[in-house]
Structure 1
């Protein structure tokens, strides 16, 4: 039972309490116990409550209440930021998109955590890195994510490895069958930032330096990435309606048989199976010269600097990210777990055949730009790319890339 913690953990919590006064920005310490809230994106699979019920049955004095935020990541962040800026204690445990770690830590909205309290050595290394900022652990990985290429096996004999393969196969299948070619998430929101980041990475580039202090975007690489998308739109193997697609729209288009190829997250696998059966499979995203690099997604759990029950919050996170719950995250929620060993479990692979490909994708994935001003950076990327992708395509891709780099440099200079 999690309430019977070793003495060493009590020592750790006392130390963490002292650390928060300088770095967390909050008024409360980490020693508080009692009821807590868990603020996270809307549970679309109804798998969360049973996990919370198990905790509540074992901890009647420290019950957790689920506070569901909007499904869209942008709206989740906006609600959390408003709450934390007001120094409200309404949220105790925060389900953060992995890219928010730097911003929330820099603003003093979450508290640093003790690495030894969590089994980080058994988690996928790139996933753990998303919870670290300035060499401190600020959250604990809960789910991971990497983009995959969904394709119709009844129409495509061999999955594409490169963009040229994808183009050739998409053009061929659209001519032969009553179906569109390829789509991702191309609406002007966070999903477009993700898709563009993947294209830049898959062309051999990057947007920011690993520490987020320098814009390393090579306009030539960014131009290649933009041209890949623009070529698809001009030639018609990327349908123009995909410019309005978020995750759900692209998922539905594929599983309803309207797309031969789709870039999406692993959560789309189950619904696609229910609709298409064995007529599809997944592979790594293609790139310029071979397999591409996905953006690393997922959710990390952090403790609000303004929570009055920070000790309970940390114990809950340890419970919630434990091995058996992580197994349920996959089996009941269809979300990618963070424990390495689950990706090598034969029984799970039999049930979720995409696990080996997903593991490869996660290990080869890269995080989105790490910056305390990530929201501004994402807005610049998404709005600039959306403008370039909108007909009649007046702006040259190299001019768009140069302009984007200049805007990003201005953001970095002012942070």
Structure 2
């Protein structure tokens, strides 16, 4: 996952008493598995994570946490984590805030510790998020933030046209092609630059069409199918026909969010964090932002399950403190602050039914539904290689270098090589 800037930076320092949480006892020592920690995460540009850790540090003086901010780019932060984890005991990171799709890879490599499920309130989490933290039947991380893609739209423009938000690809294509130009707008923006976001956008299109790219566990390819051709074709045809602007081929999350905030596009696929910024003062579309589930061929589609998990580095000298910190960060009071201060979707199921939170974040019920029906990106111990394959081939299809049918066959062939390598 990638941390991104949103409105409303949280400056409140929290001193939280966590229900059921054991406070610090005897002075920490490395022999007891307790002591100071370093938490590694992609750049915390929201400004909310530091105050959360300050709350921990004030009540746990012998187990203070130092925040190690890595680059904003998911690919770059993963590379730095991998370098640290390969240090054979010399690494400096204790707790890792990792993309949900890295869990299998890190666990298979022996870089992170198996964790005791009984220590964490897993039965209080949204059901699908727990699966992202497991590998080979064991818990190797704890869900911290979840995510599912949503379709953002201009409420004012659809109201003028007497239209409801699109539920199908046909409706989305029609409105993006016919309605958007009437108001001087582009039709639809996703994240189609050749990076991790392209893997997400392609996987969501294929999943929405009823297909998949890799078999369960990542042991075989399943990409050469009618569903892959339909899903990838939806994006390819959008670019070719112009209702997906060519500029979208250069967009990551921030660029597409900015285009929507600036009133340049009618529809946008993005993560829920984009709602707070788009609907706040300074945005040209404030007060006119709606969000629904992603559309599919015949009705609501399927999102990729995003977010991040907290894992303990295998070489950490203070695994007891690391587990205690994870329990703190995934407690209900802190998860509430993850949402209200960081605009990031929490993993605690109860927060999605909290009336006060729903009033403040009206997309929460739709997001809950999207998360419950979402699917992992590519659950594979060779995730990074598989993702690069998807990005390269999808880019060739989107830019007209390869037909959709040829791209589907190539995906199957090259993903099979990754799965068997």
Common fold: TM-score over 0.5: yes
C-alpha separation in 2, matches of 1:313 and 1:327: 21
Find the counterpart in structure 2 of residue 373 from structure 1.
Answer: 382
User: How far 1:219 sits from its partner (Å)?
Assistant: 2.7
Partner of 1:137: 139
| Match of residue 110 from structure 1 | 112
Q: Secondary structure at the match of 2:123?
A: helix
Bigger mean CA deviation after superposition, 89-98 or 205-214: 205-214
Match of 2:408 among 376, 401, 406: 401
Q: Measure the CA separation in 2 of the matches of 1:4 and 1:374.
A: 37
Deviations 1:159-214 (A, max 9, x none): 00111100001111233111100010000010000000000000110111222212
1:177 is aligned to 183
Is 2:274 aligned against 1:268? yes
Tell me if the contact between 2:220 and 2:415 (Cα under 8 Å) persists in the aligned partners: no
Q: Indicate yes or no: 2:43 matched with 1:42.
A: yes
User: For residue 147 of structure 1, what is the aligned residue in structure 2?
Assistant: 149
Q: What secondary structure is seen at the aligned counterpart in 2 of 1:338? A: coil
CA distance, structure 1, for counterparts of residue 138 and residue 77 of structure 2:
24
* Deviation for aligned residue 1:320: 1.1
Instruction: Quote the residue 1:98 is aligned against.
Output: 100
Instruction: Determine the C-alpha separation between the residues in 1 that align with 2:253 and 2:230.
Output: 24
Change (3 A) 1:272 1:4: closer
- Name the CA distance, whole Å, in 2 between partners of 1:185 and 1:177: 23
Partner of 2:166: 160
Closer, same or farther in 2 for the Cα pair 1:292/1:30, shift >3 Å? Answer: farther
Pairwise CA distance, 1:396: 1.5
Within 5 Å, which residues of 2 pair with 1:191-206?
191-206=197-212
1:176–1:238 distance in 2 versus 1, CA, 3 Å: same
Q: Could you report, residue by residue, the CA deviation over 1:229-288 in whole angstroms, capped at 9, with x for unpaired residues?
A: 111111111000110000000000001100100000001011100112221200000111
Secondary structure of the equivalent of 2:220?
coil
Contact kept? 1:96, 1:302, Cα under 8 Å? yes
Secondary structure of the residue aligned to 2:63 is coil
SS of structure 1 residue aligned to 2:296 = coil
**2:56 aligned residue:** 55
Give the aligned partner of residue 89 of structure 1: 91
Q: Give SS of 2:110's match.
A: coil
TM-score by length of 1: 0.92
RMSD: 1.4
Match of 1:321 among 318, 324, 330: 330
Unpaired runs of 5+ in structure 1? 7-28
List runs of 5+ in structure 2 lacking aligned partners. Answer: 1-16
Residue 217 of structure 1: CA displacement?
Answer: 2.1
Q: 2:300 aligns with which of 291, 294, 309?
A: 291
1:363 counterpart (369, 372, 389):
372
1:225-374 correspondence runs (5 A): 225-274=231-280, 275=283, 276-374=285-383
Instruction: Count residues with an aligned counterpart.
Output: 390
Q: TM-score, normalised by structure 2?
A: 0.90
4+ residue segments displaced more than 6 Å = none
